[in-house]
Amino acid sequence: MRGTVHVIGAGLAGLAAALAIDPAARRVTVHEGARHAGGRCRSYYDATLKCVIDNGNHLVLSGNPAVRHHLRVTGAEAKMTAPDGAAFDFADLATGERWQVRPNAGPIPWWIFMPSRRVPGTRWFHYLDLAKLMRARGATTVGQAMRCSGTLYERLWHPLLVAALNTEPRDSSAVLAGAVVRESLAKGGNACRPLIAAEGLAEAFVDPALETLRRRGVSVQFDERLRRLDMEGDRVARLDFGEEAIVLGPDDQVILAVPAPVAALLVPGLEVPTAFRSIANAHFLVEPPENLPGMLGLVNATSEWLFRFPGRLSVTVSDADRLLDMPREDLAKLLWAEVAAVTGLPEALPPWQVIREKRATFAALPEQEERRPGPVTAQRNLFLAGDWTATGLPATIEGSLRSGARAAEAATRALAAG
Ligand SMILES: Cc1cc2nc3c(=O)[nH]c(=O)nc-3n(C[C@H](O)[C@H](O)[C@H](O)COP(=O)(O)OP(=O)(O)OC[C@H]3O[C@@H](n4cnc5c(N)ncnc54)[C@H](O)[C@@H]3O)c2cc1C
């Protein structure tokens, strides 16, 4: 055993970092400030609804390699449900139209030539806009790279991009949008089957990871909030948790997997993203209609995606800062009116819960993208992980898992290099 790796934060980035370290070679301890793991990707018992719900509906895609790896390593593959093929259902609340977008399985996109598989009112050549996004470089915005208007944009690109970027697509980094497209639609339907944690995020992403770590002898400490990193020359010498402090030995290392604003406080001079966007979720306790798809995109509505769960319907609104000041019940009523209209359920508001995560993700703007650091810092035993680090992706589960594995790799490499 060569020293201990202290992972700070048990969100998905911290869990992925801890999982990526060889337990036979290093001791690993995870220190989490809260009383639970999962960070922004968590489930909890809601006393109002009297059931376990997620802080927000999370969607990942079948082509996300780090997600697949995480589920495989923790034995949780069966916790995700996925349709057989890639299919995205939509409803337009203004016109009442319904359609399904069905990319074919392979990377040659013949589906765009078939009216039955593409968005009504669009032609095949409209879809070539995506190639422009994938070619974008530097500080280009999506609005500069492609046309952000017209039927296809309003009925497909905007709903998909705002969900992936959590920022108004027009203003967002075209490089980040291009990366999402390159890893999903451009690879074909096999890579973009939507995967949903049907029993909850904790069941799929968090509890199996904690159990795997426990089996490997990794200690995960809750209620341990790091207050300060004491530096000595070019290394971290001491971790200050308030009542307790840990003095680091020569081979000890730290992987900081906390949110960007916390990292900026702990590491003086560290440049991190400074703009954030919220996500609003409304959960309604109601039996979903039989014919409702697992996930439905809503166009010309405040609600963006409607998810069906056993005994519950959930609505997601991304880039939702405009809804932060709205009284919670007003928001619940607004979203329920749309859900009732599209599902045919009664208009009376069922039991509900609204969760608004104010700093859900960093804003995927070009200038924010430039502020994302890599895993290596000026301190030779300090490494960074988190969805806000330079993963090349927007703030996503895939990005946070990759960042954790990458920080663990950087730490292992640094130790080997002496
Ligand atoms: C409502 C919502 C919906 C989302 N939807 C999607 C989606 O559909 N698809 C998708 O891919 N992504 C989605 N995301 C993004 C995804 O949840 C995040 O990218 C991911 O969970 C971030 O993980 P992380 O480990 O990087 O950070 P975090 O989850 O923020 O983890 C950081 C951890 O550090 C802990 N911590 C903080 N300070 C300290 C300290 N001083 N000492 C010790 N511990 C500390 C925190 O308690 C937390 O557990 C969504 C996010 C939200 C909020």
> Does residue 60's CB lie within 6 angstroms of at least one atom of ligand 1?
yes
Instruction: Provide the token pair at 293.
Output: 């798809």
Q: How remote is the CA of residue 269 from the centroid of ligand 1, in Å?
A: 23
| Residue length of the chain | 418
Asked whether residue 156 falls in the same domain as residue 233, the answer is no
Query: Each residue of 292-318: pLDDT tens digit?
Result: 999 999 999 999 999 999 999 999 999
Which CATH number does the domain housing residue 251 bear?
3.50.50.60
Last residue of a domain, one of 192, 215, 236: 192
Asked whether residue 31 falls in the same domain as residue 121, the answer is no
Q: How many CB atoms lie within 10 A of CB 61?
A: 23
C-alpha angle 56-61-65 in degrees, rounded to nearest 5: 115
Query: Each residue of 235-288: pLDDT tens digit?
Result: 999 999 999 999 999 999 999 999 999 999 999 999 999 999 999 999 999 999
Asked whether residue 180 falls in the same domain as residue 237, the answer is no
Last residue of a domain, one of 192, 211, 229: 192
84 has a pLDDT exceeding 80: no
Q: Using alpha carbons, select from 111, 119, 100 the residue that is nearest to residue 293.
A: 100
Kindly state whether residue 48 falls inside one of the protein's structural domains. Answer: no
1 has a pLDDT exceeding 90: no
| 127 vs 82, higher pLDDT | 127
- b/e for 35-50, b at 16 or more Cβ within 10 A? eebbbbbbbeebeebe
> Does residue 9's CB lie within 6 angstroms of at least one atom of ligand 1?
yes
> Does residue 8's CB lie within 6 angstroms of at least one atom of ligand 1?
yes
Percent of the chain with pLDDT over 70: 100
Asked whether residue 172 falls in the same domain as residue 224, the answer is no
Conformational region of residue 266, where left means phi above 0, alpha means psi within -120 to 50, and beta covers everything else: alpha
> Does residue 13's CB lie within 6 angstroms of at least one atom of ligand 1?
yes
Asked whether residue 184 falls in the same domain as residue 207, the answer is no
> Dihedral through CA 326, CA 331, CA 334, CA 335, nearest 10?
140
Q: Domain range for residue 181?
A: 88-192
Query: Each residue of 333-365: pLDDT tens digit?
Result: 999 999 999 999 999 999 999 999 999 999 999
Asked whether residue 188 falls in the same domain as residue 208, the answer is no
Kindly state whether residue 349 falls inside one of the protein's structural domains. Answer: no
Kindly state whether residue 344 falls inside one of the protein's structural domains. Answer: no
> Does residue 16's CB lie within 6 angstroms of at least one atom of ligand 1?
no
Asked whether residue 241 falls in the same domain as residue 373, the answer is yes
Asked whether residue 105 falls in the same domain as residue 174, the answer is yes
Compute the distance between CA of residue 125 and CA of residue 58 in angstroms, rounded to an integer. Answer: 31
Q: How remote is the CA of residue 12 from the centroid of ligand 1, in Å?
A: 7
Asked whether residue 175 falls in the same domain as residue 30, the answer is no
pLDDT of residue 175: 98
> Does residue 103's CB lie within 6 angstroms of at least one atom of ligand 1?
no
231 has a pLDDT exceeding 80: yes
- Please count the structural domains in the chain: 2
Kindly state whether residue 311 falls inside one of the protein's structural domains. Answer: no
Kindly state whether residue 411 falls inside one of the protein's structural domains. Answer: yes
pLDDT category at 198 given cuts 50, 70, 90 is confident
Compute the distance between CA of residue 349 and CA of residue 285 in angstroms, rounded to an integer. Answer: 10
Closest-CA residue, ligand 1 atom 39, reads 33
pTM of the model: 0.97
Give me the mean pLDDT over the 103-132 stretch.
Answer: 96
Kindly state whether residue 324 falls inside one of the protein's structural domains. Answer: no
Please enumerate in sequence order all residues whose Cβ is within 8 A of that of 4, keeping only pairs 6 or more positions apart, or say none: 26, 27, 28, 29, 249, 252, 253
Asked whether residue 156 falls in the same domain as residue 205, the answer is no
2 has a pLDDT exceeding 90: no
Kindly state whether residue 384 falls inside one of the protein's structural domains. Answer: yes
Give me the mean pLDDT over the 179-195 stretch.
Answer: 95
83 has a pLDDT exceeding 90: no
Kindly state whether residue 315 falls inside one of the protein's structural domains. Answer: no
Q: How remote is the CA of residue 233 from the centroid of ligand 1, in Å?
A: 31
DSSP string, 170-216: GGSBHHHHHHHHHHTGGG-GGG--EEEETT-HIIIIIHHHHHHHHHT
Last residue of a domain, one of 192, 216, 231: 192
pLDDT category at 202 given cuts 50, 70, 90 is very high
- Average pLDDT of every residue of the chain: 96
Asked whether residue 36 falls in the same domain as residue 155, the answer is no
Asked whether residue 256 falls in the same domain as residue 385, the answer is yes
